[in-house]
Structure 1
Amino acid sequence: MVDAIRTYADYDSFAREWHSETLSNRDVTLEAARERDLINEQDTRQLWQLLGLLDEDDVFIQLPEWLVEEKTDDVRGSLAITFVGYISRETEDAVLFKDSSPGRRLMQIAHKIHSLENGVENTAVDSDRRKRLNDKLQEEYRRFEKQDDVPYLSDEWLPKSQLITIIQRRD
């Protein structure tokens, strides 16, 4: 499929590439950038958590704002410029992006799922608290699976030359 899809198997490689512009502009390592708060580690971790929940064919895609404005009827204040969906077809110049949802919203749900999984893991097996956490976790999984409640770019042809980033996580 698309040659531009970048895949990552470990968090540090992903973070290094995701922040490559900041790191090269400041001539610092990832570790130094973390220590000096030059990167948003929280957002980076949430994106990594999201990538871990995606289906095998799903990708996280970043687009220029003008293209999103052209392809959507969204009239809200701030446009989503990141999306999760899958590429169903491609030509030499474009990809058909299907069943997408805004990336930021899914990142928030993925982070909540990750936190609840940790809570369940660190709570006594037979406790009421663990049952409540597990119920909340299942609810968040359902929210994540129901991505079609805000489809922005469903069945849209996107020019390959305008795709800023396409990423997947491979474990």
Structure 2
Amino acid sequence: MANLITKFADYDSFAREWHSDTLTDYDVSLEDARERGLLNEQKTRQLWQLLGLLDTGELFIQLPEWLAIEKVGSKDRTTSTMFIGYISRETEDAILFKESAAAQPLMQLAHKIHSLEKGVANTEADTDRHKRSEKRLREHYQKLSNRDNLPSLSDEWLPKSQLITAVQRCE
């Protein structure tokens, strides 16, 4: 499993790898790509924030669209190809991905949590604003842990050869 999952400890290393195709295509550094507006830094940051909120052992995977459609069981044009979940079993050729959920709505939620945490830290304790922000933060954490209404992969084996990306954040 160690070869399957790429682990990142810092944002720039993650962003460099996440955008490696763009950096190669334009033959630029990460900093130059940022300056030229070649990256979707907002979505990259949201994914990084989500990775920081995942439980130990939980990871982000990206699948080709055809496999996601097959495993989600949806014929919807907007089937998610990015999921978070756990590898519960593994063979040489495949993984059993469990407790999965679509990553996109969770990325947006992780960004809100990150913003609320900053807001709580920047407001004076015992003020109404601080209390409201703390309450909203608890509610958002609850939404992050309750993923029942999100699209998920069926608990079936996924071929390792078809995984585009498998990423974890380490601290």
Measured after TM superposition, the shift of residue 115 of structure 1 is 0.5
Measured after TM superposition, the shift of residue 80 of structure 1 is 0.2
Residue 29 of structure 2: aligned partner: 29
Q: Distance in 2 between matches of 1:39 and 1:76?
A: 27
Residue 167 of structure 1: aligned partner: 167
Q: Distance in 2 between matches of 1:156 and 1:119?
A: 41
Letter in 2 for 1:32: D
Q: Distance in 2 between matches of 1:76 and 1:133?
A: 36
Give yes or no for contact 1:100–1:148 (8 Å, CA) kept in 2: no
Aligned length: 171
Letter in 1 for 2:75: V
Q: Distance in 2 between matches of 1:121 and 1:150?
A: 30
Residue 129 of structure 1 pairs with residue 147 of structure 2: no
Residue 73 of structure 1 pairs with residue 73 of structure 2: yes
Taking structure 1 as the reference length, the TM-score comes to 0.97
Secondary structure at the counterpart of residue 99 of structure 1: strand
Residue 52 of structure 1: aligned partner: 52
Structure 1 gaps of 5+ residues are: none
Measured after TM superposition, the shift of residue 2 of structure 1 is 4.7
Give yes or no for contact 1:87–1:96 (8 Å, CA) kept in 2: yes
Measured after TM superposition, the shift of residue 154 of structure 1 is 3.8
Residue 109 of structure 1 pairs with residue 109 of structure 2: yes
Taking a change above 3 Å as real, the CA distance of residues 2 and 153 of structure 1, as seen in their structure-2 partners, is: farther
Q: Distance in 2 between matches of 1:44 and 1:57?
A: 21
Measured after TM superposition, the shift of residue 73 of structure 1 is 2.0
Taking a change above 3 Å as real, the CA distance of residues 88 and 2 of structure 1, as seen in their structure-2 partners, is: farther
Q: Distance in 2 between matches of 1:154 and 1:132?
A: 38
Give yes or no for contact 1:2–1:90 (8 Å, CA) kept in 2: no
Letter in 1 for 2:141: Y
Worse-superposed segment, 161-170 or 65-74 = 65-74
Measured after TM superposition, the shift of residue 138 of structure 1 is 0.2
Give yes or no for contact 1:86–1:99 (8 Å, CA) kept in 2: yes
Percent identity, aligned pairs only, is 61
Residue 142 of structure 1 pairs with residue 142 of structure 2: yes
Give yes or no for contact 1:99–1:151 (8 Å, CA) kept in 2: no
Moved over 4 A (4+): none
Secondary structure at the counterpart of residue 148 of structure 2: helix
Q: Distance in 2 between matches of 1:126 and 1:137?
A: 15
Q: Distance in 1 between matches of 2:76 and 2:151?
A: 14
